[in-house]
Amino acid sequence: MTLPMFDADQHYYEPDDAFTRYLPARFIEENRAVRVIRTTDRPQGRLFFGDQKITFYGVNPVEATKEPGALLKYFKTAAGTGNAVAGNVKADDIPESRSRELRVKWMREQGVSGTLMFPTFGVGVEHQLQADVEALNAALTAFNRWMEDDWGFGSPDSPIYCAPMLNLTDMAWAVAELERVLDAGARVVHLRPGPVAGTRSPADPAHDAFWARCAEAGVPVDFHLGNSGESAYYSALWGESPNPPNHRFSPFQRVTSFGERAISDTLLALVTHNLFGRIPDLKVMSIEHGCEWVGPLLKKMDRAARMCGPRDWPFGAVTERPREVFKRHVLVSPFPEDNILGLIELLGDDAVVAGSDWPHPEGEVVPRDFFAHLEGRVGDETLRKVMHDNTAKVLGLQTADALSS
């Protein structure tokens, strides 16, 4: 039997009503809804929250993208352009990106036994809703209900494991919505990387009820690339525009405010603010942030820990090397162009998962292309873990060997 792939990173393309189909009517009446607005002169559509444009996107990425894998050459060789939102491909040109039934059929044809599934435009809206927490909660609840409706949270017949979007700003809502999606069958949940509401560490003990419930349920928490708010936090301090569309980030902003900074700071906080010491069974995942930041982070955490005394740890001292805590609790999905063998050597083969990012242009042409980065370069056991078992096991699902028996 050919080794199946359990893909740690695939995406759907959302319909216009993803945030409004299940939104209580009063939020629409009060102009406090996330909507796609189309006009005669801009038929591609723009995303708005009320009258405020969602600045993370120039146009709705569902309407202007490129073919799956179209940017691989750019990321591997720096040839061509790195702008994903400059193509003439629409989501409807990739029907498997819009339909659960078509995606499941396509996955079976591709030899993909299961996948984690994430939003496309959905990961770009939370930052601008932080000032209206009630509307933020309502928007995410509505989005999660749409997600459950159109894609589901996974089953043997439909092995697409969507990650409901949660937020820790309002803990009463966060725990209630967590319980609701767990009851609906969710096996993974999503949090936006970065500080909570721009003021608190996600590892502050005030959030422990959320983390403890995830650990109790055996559900990992994913941090996926999106608008973490770093451009607003950092850019204005350096005289740059605080909220540009992501495809118009300056070189300074791409280094400080997109991807690596947010996930590195977030996982630094989870480790050094002692979240895993308080909740030892918790697992988290870094998806679509690559892995170039991992080695420097581990080195810096270890060095800082040696310099700190017992009073220097805000929420209790970490009593072992921070890198060992990281390796035990964090799973990382590298980019195809990354040094994947180096990541395996650094973290061990239990902490690395393969994600294709399909159907986004930054990812693989087809998911199983990821095998080419490892086949003949690692042993069979490592190949099986990275390409299938690590993702399956963190969700509590069958390993590749169990599937073939």
Q: Quick check: 40 pLDDT over 80?
A: no
**Looking at the domain assignment, is residue 177 inside a domain?**
yes
**Looking at the domain assignment, is residue 74 inside a domain?**
no
Q: Quick check: 214 pLDDT over 70?
A: yes
**Looking at the domain assignment, is residue 26 inside a domain?**
no
**Looking at the domain assignment, is residue 122 inside a domain?**
yes
**Looking at the domain assignment, is residue 271 inside a domain?**
yes
| Percent of the chain as helix, strand, coil, to the nearest 5 | 45, 10, 45
pLDDT at 251 (0 to 100): 82
Question: d(Cα 362, Cα 339) in Å, to the nearest integer?
Answer: 17
**Looking at the domain assignment, is residue 69 inside a domain?**
no
Write out the residue range of the structural domain in which residue 385 sits.
Answer: 5-12+105-404
**Looking at the domain assignment, is residue 269 inside a domain?**
yes
Contacts 24+ apart (CB under 8 A), 51-55: 52/128, 54/124, 54/125, 54/128, 55/128, 55/243, 55/244, 55/245
Question: d(Cα 10, Cα 360) in Å, to the nearest integer?
Answer: 8
Q: Quick check: 1 pLDDT over 70?
A: no
pLDDT at 53 (0 to 100): 92
Nearest 10 degrees: Cα torsion 9, 14, 17, 20: 20
Q: Which residues contact 78 (CB under 8 A, 6 or more apart)?
A: none
pLDDT at 81 (0 to 100): 56
Q: Quick check: 70 pLDDT over 80?
A: yes
* CA-based nearest residue to 226, from 360, 133, 87: 360
Percent of the chain with pLDDT over 70: 97
Task: Check which CATH number belongs to the domain holding 211 and give it.
Answer: 3.20.20.140
- What region, left, alpha or beta, does residue 374 occupy, with left being phi > 0 and alpha being psi -120 to 50 degrees? alpha
For the chain, the domain total comes to 1
**Looking at the domain assignment, is residue 34 inside a domain?**
no
pLDDT at 79 (0 to 100): 60
